[in-house]
A = this chain, B = another copy of it.
Amino acid sequence: MRQLHRKDLWSWSVFDQARNLDFNSLAWIRADGNVLVDPLPISDHDLRHLEELGGAAWIVVTNSDHTRAAAELSLRFGAKLAGPAGERGQLPFACARWLSEGDELVPGLAAIELHGSKTPGELALVLEDTTLITGDLVRGQALGKLNLLPDAKLADRAAALASVRRLAALGQVEAVLVGDGWPIAHGGHALLRALVAELD
Which residues of chain A have a CB within 8 Å of any CB of chain B? 1-5, 7, 15, 17, 20-22, 43, 45, 49, 141-145, 175, 182-187
Contact = CB atoms under 8 A, between A and B. Distances in A.
13 contacts: A2-B15, A2-B22, A2-B182, A3-B141, A3-B143, A4-B142, A5-B143, A7-B142, A15-B43, A144-B184, A144-B186, A186-B187, A187-B187
Contacts of A185: 143-145, 182
Q: Interface of chain A, helix or strand or loop or mixed?
A: loop
A104 to B, nearest CB: 25
Nearest to A21: B2
B142 A5 contact: yes
A2 to B, nearest CB: 6
A1 B22 CA distance: 10
